[in-house]
């Protein structure tokens, strides 16, 4: 894999991935080098559709792991629409349900990145999410196993004839809210994810986003 160098797309990546200041950081990366810039641009555009098709992420992971549903700010399901800042994603984990989220873990899309640098022949697109409260609940407490300090950034980068897909988790720490068993649930899931057990899920996702048609 070719390492990133500091350039326009790297600066854009740093703009959407917060600095690490507390807890753990995790991540997964996949990359593909194709025969030409034109082929890479075509793959980038296909992968961008898969990145933004959040409702289909579980299928990109082979039907395994968490299920994701894009919703509006009230928690109403959205279909056939690109994500926007302010949209929510409700996540159904293959784990005990989150009582604070009516069975789900919730995040909000807070930033979308879309940068092109023709001089360096680079493109970057992606978005960042952060845990939020259950839209059906007036509580300000995060309905997620992580606190609201945590973020996940999902990025797609094309540099010349190489395309990268990545997930970057930052400032991850357990969210001990709710009843006794919900606090235990959050702590166990968060610690497991912080120790790397969530990485296979994200690795399957970034691989699926870059999967080329045969």
Asked whether 185 and 132 are in contact (CB, 8 A), the reply is no
Residue that is written with structure tokens 């740093």 in the block: 14
In whole numbers, what is the pLDDT of the chain averaged over residues? Answer: 91
When pLDDT is cut at 50, 70 and 90, the band that residue 9 belongs to is low
183 is a domain residue? yes
Q: What pLDDT score does 155 carry?
A: 96
With a cut of 50, say whether residue 182 has pLDDT above it.
Answer: yes
Number of structural domains (the chain) is: 1
Question: Does the residue 105 lie in any domain?
Answer: yes
Query: Which residue did the predictor score with more confidence, 26 or 140?
Result: 26
145 assigned to some structural domain: yes
63 lies in a domain? Answer: yes
- Structural domain including 134 reads 22-209
pLDDT of residue 4: 44
pLDDT in tens, 122-155: 999 999 999 999 999 878 899 999 999 999 999 9
User: CB of 182 within 8 A of CB of 100?
Assistant: yes
In the chain, the N- to C-terminal Cα span, in Å, equals: 22
Say what percent of the chain tops pLDDT 70: 93
CATH number for 75:
3.30.530
Calculate the alpha carbon distances from 142 to 28, 42, 169, 171 in Å: 24, 38, 16, 14
For 178: left if phi > 0, alpha if psi spans -120 to 50, otherwise beta; the answer is left
The answer as to whether 124 is a domain residue is: yes
Give 91-101 pLDDT, tens digit per residue: 999 999 999 99
Tell me, yes or no, whether 9 lies in a domain.
no
Q: Does residue 153 sit within a domain?
A: yes
The pLDDT confidence band at residue 2, using thresholds 50, 70 and 90, is: very low
Please indicate, yes or no, if residue 214 is contained in any of the structural domains: no
């Amino acid at each position: 894999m070719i390492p990133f160098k500091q350039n326009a797309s790297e600066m854009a990546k740093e703009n959407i991935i917060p600095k690490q200041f507390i807890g753990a950081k995790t991540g997964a990366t996949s990359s593909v080098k194709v025969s030409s810039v034109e082929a890479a641009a075509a793959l980038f555009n296909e992968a961008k559709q898969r990145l933004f098709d959040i409702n289909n992420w579980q299928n990109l992971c082979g039907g395994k792991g968490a299920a994701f549903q894009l919703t509006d700010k009230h928690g109403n399901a959205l279909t056939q629409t690109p994500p926007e800042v302010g949209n929510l994603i409700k996540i159904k984990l293959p784990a005990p349900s989150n009582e604070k989220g009516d069975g789900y873990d919730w995040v909000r899309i807070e930033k979308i990145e879309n940068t092109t640098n023709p001089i360096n022949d680079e493109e970057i697109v992606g978005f960042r999410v952060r845990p939020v409260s259950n839209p059906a609940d007036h509580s300000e407490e995060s309905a997620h196993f992580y606190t609201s300090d945590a973020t996940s950034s999902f990025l797609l980068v094309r540099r010349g004839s190489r395309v990268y897909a990545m997930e970057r988790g930052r400032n991850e720490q357990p969210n001990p809210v709710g009843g006794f068993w919900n606090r235990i649930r959050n702590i166990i899931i968060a610690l497991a994810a912080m120790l790397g057990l969530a990485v296979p899920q994200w690795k399957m996702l970034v691989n699926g986003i870059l999967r080329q048609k045969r």
